[in-house]
């Protein structure tokens, strides 16, 4: 495990210099009063994850656990490997020929990269929403119905489409034009359509790679509100460049950065992973603090 | 590596500079208020009361700038803690100046009354300690010195002790109604100095929070004897 990583719950307080307040006699203590997170089970367990693209060591020694029905944010500067890690969660890196993943990721206790695991099945359980809305060149209805049809869904498709669009907070805006082209929707609506498409196949995890970075502030807030509703039923992992977005929406935040080795090679590493309120009020690692406060760049 | 957000950090420094200025005014006002009390100088007491306007202006300025920084810069981590601390320290310093004004007003109301030299001596001692506490805590804030902040409760102890003795000392003056009236007013002065000391300790707690991220009360007021 990367020694720099601090997992929540561990009292890995970095050295803060002499005279820490706890060493003095006091008669009253006001501890962390923020609402504790529910003790949800782990959905992913990542151990010693390394990702290489050919000779390039993109991500090194990441160990972390993702909890069920929480929103987990991955933040960090460009090139820190946060999107690479996200793509490992549904084996999207398999689609890149030169990508090599080592270490382990357990999904509900099963090795996600086990020999008998079908990556297509993985992606059915672990959906993904991308930075730029990417609806199919089809009707709104067909965008949502496509995945379930491919998967052999034999229930009431109309009902499934309506439910998915409702959950994605889009139904009221599109219910009268379901046969219209998805391309006629605004950017924000297209992204919510992509979320509806992702949840139509009943995944239990939704991965989001900068889902609001191409949207205006109002559309962004809609997506953020939607995420809060969705986490009742799904676990969400989001990569975002927008730290305030991570602070607003996530339960836990993982901060990644780039380590430059003596050879000059730049590798993504996990620096700190903790409850979001802790990360944004009192991070344990100086590198986290420097990044989120914008002190150094 | 280059420092980003230099404008933001200039704003934070400006807020801190104004707090330091308020602290210096607070120390001067306490010193002058006690000095005026000791020699019954009502004119000097008036100067202390007038000086409060400067502190009030600084208080409002800090508050205004604080709101602007919060709204526009969305600080996080140690910057967020510093903003929280600035808001608290601003209130404590404004309160300390008000307490100096309270002592100045008592000086004016006590004009012409007889004095007791022992009580005067006690109040002088309390005043010296309290002004040194305010000075020390503001230095700890500027220097980000946790150990110096943690020393404040120890400095406050003799102030509390002297304050507790005041009632008995004043009760001993009961044979002389005028001296007793003066003594009752001096109980309020002692209590006011004790409150100023508590404000300095509260500032020290804020400094510890800033530096450690953990908020702890150094003393528990509900368990004082």
- Comparing C-alpha atoms, which of A238, A133, A233 is closest to residue A186? A133
CA distance linking residue A22 with residue A98, whole number of Å: 51
- Cβ-defined contact of A295 to B3 (cutoff 8 Å): yes
- Cβ-defined contact of A289 to B77 (cutoff 8 Å): yes
CB A279 within 8 A of CB B213: no
pLDDT in tens, A211-252: 998 888 888 998 999 999 999 999 999 999 999 999 999 999
Question: Is the pLDDT reported for residue A7 higher than 60?
Answer: no
Q: In Å, how far are A23, A141, B196, B204 from B27, measured between CA atoms?
A: 30, 73, 10, 16
- Cβ-defined contact of A281 to B213 (cutoff 8 Å): yes
Numbers of helices and strands, H then E, in chain B: 7, 1
pLDDT in tens, A174-220: 999 999 999 999 999 999 999 999 999 999 999 999 999 888 888 89
pTM over 0.90: no
CA distance linking residue A184 with residue A138, whole number of Å: 10
- Cβ-defined contact of B79 to A18 (cutoff 8 Å): no
CA distance linking residue A48 with residue A54, whole number of Å: 19
| CB nearest B217 (choices: A17, A28, A289) | A28
Which of B2, B7, B78 best probes binding to A when mutated, by most A CB atoms within 10 angstroms?
Answer: B78
Contacts of A260 (CB under 8 A, 6+ apart): A266, A267
CA distance linking residue B7 with residue A175, whole number of Å: 49
Q: Which domains are seen in chain B, by residue range?
A: 6-223 (1.20.58.220)
Contacting B with CB below 8 Å, chain A residues are 16-22, 24, 26-31, 243-244, 247, 279-283, 288-289, 292-297
d(CA A281, nearest CA chain B) in Å = 4
Q: Residue B106 CB: number of other CB atoms within 10 A?
A: 19
| CB nearest B76 (choices: A17, A247, A297) | A247
Instruction: Confirm or reject contact between B79 and chain A (CB < 8 A).
Output: yes
| CB nearest B212 (choices: A20, A280, A294) | A20
Which of B13, B77, B81 best probes binding to A when mutated, by most A CB atoms within 10 angstroms?
Answer: B77
- Cβ-defined contact of A283 to B77 (cutoff 8 Å): yes
CA distance linking residue B62 with residue B70, whole number of Å: 12
Q: Return mean pLDDT, chain A.
A: 87
Q: Which domains are seen in chain A, by residue range?
A: 38-292 (3.40.50.300)
Averaged pLDDT for residues A61-72: 97
pLDDT band at A12 (very low <50, low <70, confident <90, very high): very low
DSSP 8-state symbol, B109: H
Instruction: Confirm or reject contact between B213 and chain A (CB < 8 A).
Output: yes
Which of B11, B208, B216 best probes binding to A when mutated, by most A CB atoms within 10 angstroms?
Answer: B216
- Cβ-defined contact of A18 to B147 (cutoff 8 Å): yes
Place of tokens 């020929």: A97
Which residues of chain B are within 8 Å of residue A282 when distances are taken between CB atoms? 77-78, 81, 213-214
pLDDT of residue A262: 86
pLDDT in tens, B4-17: 788 899 999 999 99
Place of tokens 């084996």: A91
In the A/B pair of chains, how many CB contacts fall below 8 A? 82
Question: Is the pLDDT reported for residue A21 higher than 90?
Answer: no
Instruction: Confirm or reject contact between B218 and chain A (CB < 8 A).
Output: yes
Question: Is the pLDDT reported for residue A76 higher than 80?
Answer: yes
Question: What number is the ipTM of this complex?
Answer: 0.75
pLDDT in tens, B99-147: 999 999 999 999 999 999 999 999 999 999 999 999 999 999 999 999 9
């Amino acid at each position: 495990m990367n020694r720099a990583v601090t997992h929540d719950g561990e009292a890995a307080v970095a050295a803060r210099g002499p005279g820490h307040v706890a060493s003095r006699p006091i008669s009253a203590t006001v501890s962390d009063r923020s609402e504790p997170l529910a003790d949800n089970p782990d959905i992913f367990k990542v151990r010693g994850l390394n990702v290489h693209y050919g000779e390039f060591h993109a991500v090194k020694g990441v160990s972390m656990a993702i909890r069920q029905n929480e929103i987990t944010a991955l933040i960090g500067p460009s090139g820190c490997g946060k999107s690479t890690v996200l793509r490992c969660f549904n084996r999207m890196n398999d689609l890149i020929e030169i990508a090599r993943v080592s270490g382990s990721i357990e999904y509900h206790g099963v090795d996600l990269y086990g020999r008998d695991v079908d990556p297509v099945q993985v992606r059915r359980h672990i959906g993904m929403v991308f930075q730029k809305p990417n609806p199919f060149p089809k009707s709104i209805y067909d965008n949502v119905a496509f995945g379930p049809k491919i998967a052999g869904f034999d229930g009431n498709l109309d009902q499934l489409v309506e439910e998915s669009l409702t959950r994605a907070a889009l139904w009221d805006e599109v219910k009268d034009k379901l046969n219209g082209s998805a391309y006629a929707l605004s950017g924000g609506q297209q992204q919510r359509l992509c979320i509806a498409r992702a949840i139509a196949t009943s995944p239990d995890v939704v991965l989001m790679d900068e889902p609001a970075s191409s949207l205006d502030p109002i559309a962004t807030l809609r997506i953020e509100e939607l995420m809060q509703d969705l986490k009742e039923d799904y676990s969400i992992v989001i990569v975002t460049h927008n730290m305030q977005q991570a602070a607003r929406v996530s339960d836990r935040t993982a901060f990644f950065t780039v380590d430059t080795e003596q050879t000059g090679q730049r590798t993504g590493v996990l620096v700190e992973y903790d409850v979001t309120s802790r990360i944004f009020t009192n991070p344990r690692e100086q590198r986290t603090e420097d990044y989120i406060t914008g002190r150094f760049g | 590596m280059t420092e980003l957000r230099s404008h933001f950090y200039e704003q934070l420094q400006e807020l801190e500079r104004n707090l330091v200025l308020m602290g210096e005014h607070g120390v001067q006002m306490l010193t002058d208020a006690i000095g005026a009390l000791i020699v019954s100088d009502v004119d000097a007491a008036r100067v202390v009361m007038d000086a409060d306007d400067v502190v009030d202006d600084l208080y409002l300025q800090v508050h205004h700038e604080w709101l602007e920084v919060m709204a526009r810069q969305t600080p996080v981590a140690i910057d967020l803690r510093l903003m929280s601390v600035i808001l608290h320290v601003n209130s404590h310093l404004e309160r300390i100046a008000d307490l100096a004004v309270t002592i100045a007003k008592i000086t004016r109301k006590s004009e012409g009354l007889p004095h007791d030299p022992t009580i005067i001596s006690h109040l002088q001692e309390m005043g010296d300690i309290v002004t040194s506490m305010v000075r020390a805590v503001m230095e700890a804030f500027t220097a980000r010195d946790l150990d110096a902040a943690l020393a404040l409760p120890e400095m406050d102890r003799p102030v509390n002790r002297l304050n507790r003795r005041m009632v008995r000392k004043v009760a001993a003056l009961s044979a002389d109604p005028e001296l007793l009236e003066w003594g009752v007013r001096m109980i309020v002065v002692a209590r006011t100095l004790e409150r100023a000391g508590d404000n300095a300790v509260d500032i020290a707690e804020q400094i510890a929070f800033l530096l450690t991220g953990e908020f702890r009360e150094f003393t528990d007021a509900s368990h004082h004897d």
